[in-house]
Structure 1
């Protein structure tokens, strides 16, 4: 049983402010330690539940946040960018299930530090009429490969938005969002204990019975609402895009992989406007 753990930072216990998720300050250095600890809790729980291999995907920002020397030695760390599957890198290793640790609410959501892929440029992302955040988008990418999401941890808004997509998944609420930059949060120690126990249960359940992947039937139409007309102007330079209105564009794709890859191309293009 091979498990892929996609670890973000905004859903980690104790994280409530943008300064904590941006490199270059003391607050971030502390938060990345908490992120590493939650990943380790999930690794421990996965092995407790019967996993034979665990891959930990660093899925925040530049994808090099977690402290490699502190990751559980039984796990394999996936770090750095660019990579084709982005927050789902590791699917290439024939994993059997995915866990989402430290994930967050979608853009325009009411969760802590809510956003979707690129907080500077992306206001809403819809695929075949379904509004999705990172968990839904990347969970559907895993689903296309036949891999179910079996676990998620983060705030209650993240859970509420995604609980309907992932059949049988185990959820751990690490904090209760009180606003974009405030929460009633577990301590890192308490969150780690709950994540470990939740992952153990999730892996045991996955071993005992088949779990259904989250699949969005194709073909795919993605509609992206940007935060400014200048961003929509720039993204529409990519062939195959159609302008819907001043801030919205759409494109078609044959697979969820191509949807994800195109969105990440747009995210990279947005750097030119910063």
Structure 2
């Protein structure tokens, strides 16, 4: 039995290039919801064709109510809505493998709609001294649960970045970055072909590694916790100062903070608190 979790973000899906495309309530967002659902359905189809027994889709973008349930592949299940304990990675405890779909590069990096937790003033993010983004952070949570990332989809720069934090995962670039708000995009029919094919290969590769350890790095259920140091740089000093109210957080330069956590899950939760505090400290007309 191979259970797969799809953590579905939106910035990295087919056709998405501008803020309105991912802003709930806009006409562009409504237009892009079927494309997001289409990318998910293509991956679901490929996973099941490759031998997955179950697929759970976690709607992981913004309000986490973006996917069209009525258009979702009926063989999958959808985890929708906010305030999930593990956020984008909720459901990882029920999975044997995970797909990071529609992901993007981080704050301060090149890439279509690059950012790390919008509305927080973040300009850079590092984990253990390495440039980080939401993908790297979520991959560490998966690793801690003993669940490998088997596929990453997004623009070409996201796929390139994934080589550093999910080196054994397959990748699918559904668009090529031209600028933060422009890309060369594949039509949905073409991206669906690529997504389905790579999802099928990803789950087959995972099953071979699980059943025949000599064929490559084996998947061993049950991860191990290790400490991580997170560093966050903000665009204004008052945001860093506000975040110092969070326990375990220390100053790290004039506009930065840092903290060390005993495991990836605790680090990610502390990160969420820090960014929430920073977001609340933003001023509408002077930030």
Normalising to structure 2: TM-score of the pair?
Answer: 0.90
1:236 alignment counterpart: 244
1:58 alignment counterpart: 59
1:251 alignment counterpart: 259
Going from structure 1 to structure 2, the CA distance change for 1:212 and 1:101 (only over 3 Å counts) comes to: farther
1:106 alignment counterpart: 106
Q: Judge conservation of contact 1:3–1:96 (CA < 8 Å) in 2.
A: yes
User: Which runs of 5 or more structure 2 residues have no equivalent in the other structure?
Assistant: 211-216, 283-287
In structure 2, distance between residues paired with 1:252 and 1:260: 11
Q: Judge conservation of contact 2:93–2:145 (CA < 8 Å) in 1.
A: no
Q: Judge conservation of contact 1:2–1:52 (CA < 8 Å) in 2.
A: yes
Q: Judge conservation of contact 1:107–1:119 (CA < 8 Å) in 2.
A: no
Deviation at residue 165 of structure 1 after TM alignment: 2.4
In structure 2, distance between residues paired with 1:56 and 1:234: 35
In structure 2, distance between residues paired with 1:218 and 1:125: 19
After superposition, residues 114-263 of structure 1 pair within 5 angstroms as 114-210=114-210, 211=217, 218-263=226-271
User: Residue by residue, what CA displacement relative to the aligned partner does 1:118-170 show, whole Å, maximum 9, x if unpaired?
Assistant: 35422212121121111111001101111110101111110111113223311
1:78 alignment counterpart: 79
Tell me whether 1:268 sits opposite 2:276 in the alignment. yes
Normalising to structure 1: TM-score of the pair?
Answer: 0.94
Deviation at residue 184 of structure 1 after TM alignment: 0.5
User: Which runs of 5 or more structure 1 residues have no equivalent in the other structure?
Assistant: none
In structure 1, distance between residues paired with 2:8 and 2:196: 14
Deviation at residue 174 of structure 1 after TM alignment: 0.3
User: Residue by residue, what CA displacement relative to the aligned partner does 1:193-242 show, whole Å, maximum 9, x if unpaired?
Assistant: 210111011001111114567x9973221111112222112211112111
Q: Judge conservation of contact 1:219–1:253 (CA < 8 Å) in 2.
A: yes
Deviation at residue 189 of structure 1 after TM alignment: 1.8
Look up the SS of the partner of 1:61 in the other structure. Answer: coil
In structure 1, distance between residues paired with 2:119 and 2:226: 27
In structure 2, distance between residues paired with 1:31 and 1:230: 36
Q: Judge conservation of contact 1:140–1:216 (CA < 8 Å) in 2.
A: no
**What stretches of structure 1 move > 3 A for 4+ residues in a row?**
210-213
Going from structure 1 to structure 2, the CA distance change for 1:216 and 1:188 (only over 3 Å counts) comes to: farther
1:48 alignment counterpart: 49
Q: Judge conservation of contact 1:225–1:249 (CA < 8 Å) in 2.
A: yes
1:6 alignment counterpart: 7
Q: Judge conservation of contact 2:6–2:58 (CA < 8 Å) in 1.
A: yes
Look up the SS of the partner of 2:164 in the other structure. Answer: coil
